[in-house]
Structure 1
Amino acid sequence: MAIQTPQRKPDWLKIKLPSGNELQEFKELKKTMRTKTLHTVCEEAKCPNIHECWANRTATFMILGDICTRACRFCAVNSGLPNELDLKEPERVGEAAEEMGLKHCVITSVARDDLADGGAMIFAETIKAVKKRLPFCDVEVLIPDFMGNEEALYKVLDAKPEVLNHNIETVERCSDRVRSKAKYKRSLELLQRSKSYKSKIPTKSSIMIGVGEEWNEILQTMDDLREVDCNILTIGQYLQPSKKHLSVEKFYTPEEFALLKEEGMKRGFSHVEAGPLVRSSYHAREQKEAANETLNAR
């Protein structure tokens, strides 16, 4: 695996830092997270949209601690031996969501392969805690693959999230090189099982591009996701978080992302969000609303 110094980013990847009211909103939300000892994937994964999203009072809670049992070659989240399971974490997430007045709450996690159910119980309890405090808040979960554990998946689905998200991350040929332990076909199976078990819960997945994939392979991944009736797709540019991670092999242009969005919509996704800075939870509420409009029109 070739590791290189992070490349110079093209102009369309430049990020405008917040100021004034936006900066104040960012600081307040950060204070809320620290006060309740909560983690966000926005911070841990060094998301380029953190200032924009936090200024709009939206964030993706990262449960089950901040240490992942996997070490994927694209991800900035710390890996190693996780801390003891925090059974009070779901309630704190519910409290924070209520304080923020969220209408769409996204919950994700590190991978916890050390747990028998991969952390599914905590996912379910967190969904319930948010819904108890905010009955009209949509809850979207971005889950790991639970190592193929069907019962763990069903445990999360039984808590009735509004969106079930699991990222396939990359094309099949690059999957083993980019991801740790996760398998391309296992990800597809998870999305298929979700639809078989709870057909009315929209499913969602994400592809990051720029890690060595070919154009036709991106289109094939779209076809594979549609084959398991995945409803929402996000496509974003991979950015190297540090010198230790995979280097960027290509920076796609905004025009190429627009073409990929067209290709996705032609294949029947109810919504496709594609752009250089798009991440799985970027504009998550808008994604769900657009998808619902499309699904209801069918």
Structure 2
Amino acid sequence: MDAEDIAQTKSLIDEFERENLEDFCEDRKALECYKILSLRPGASKLAVSRRLRVLGLHFHPDSRNDEPCSYFKVISSCKNILSRRAPDEDDFETWNQIIIQKWIAAYEERNDEIDRLKDDLEQLSNRFEEAEKKNDEKDATIKALEKENKKLSCRAAKLETKVYEVEKILDKKGSGKNAEYLIHWRGFNDPKENTWVPVAKCNCPDLLAAFEADLKKKMTSLKKARKAIPSSRSRRASTVIVKLASGARKSLKSGGKCKRKIIGKLRK
């Protein structure tokens, strides 16, 4: 064996060791073994035996070439496989057909793998689009929340710095230190925003005085109006006692036609 032949055989053996031939069919294994031995597929057992003898002399552990034992193990595996698969005589045509079938199978396998990859790619693309859509929705939601938060923050800042001004006092409940006033604030037009404020926290003495004066005036007018209405007792018909000329007493309601003299007052 020359140096080039040895180097090529080592390279083929290294490649052979990297492949998992356990998953290959017998024909595929035989093809790989022919390749390692640098023989044409379909070579006879005699040709295989001669080639193995040459390689064995060089790669055998007892030889003085210091080659790794792994090379001889691969060569021994090729011997075992081809002893079963190699024809008794050269049959290159049959093995060429095997090679054709091998490449057809490899082509179909590759196409199937491409189809699977396309399906996987399509699924990944769909998942990516769905994820992007969800992310866009999340981004839109986050932006909306940030915008709303900004508005609320601005409003809160304004409320913190704004001086509340009493525009009008609407009502009162309680008395003394427990009195509370219903306040209408300037700039707040919604009646729901009117609030009851304890008298101790009302810092508007002028408005309080005006409200109390107006309230007192209304109470005075109300009392006068109540006095002007006659009571049920005064509305009843009064009985007038009169003295008849003859000295007998009869009510004005009497049907007598005598001259009457009033001696009493109407009772109210």
TM-score (ref. length: structure 1): 0.16
Instruction: State the structure with bigger RCO (CA 8 A, min sep 6), 1 or 2.
Output: 1
Q: Which has the larger radius of gyration?
A: 2
Q: Which structure has greater helix proportion?
A: 2
TM-score (ref. length: structure 2): 0.17
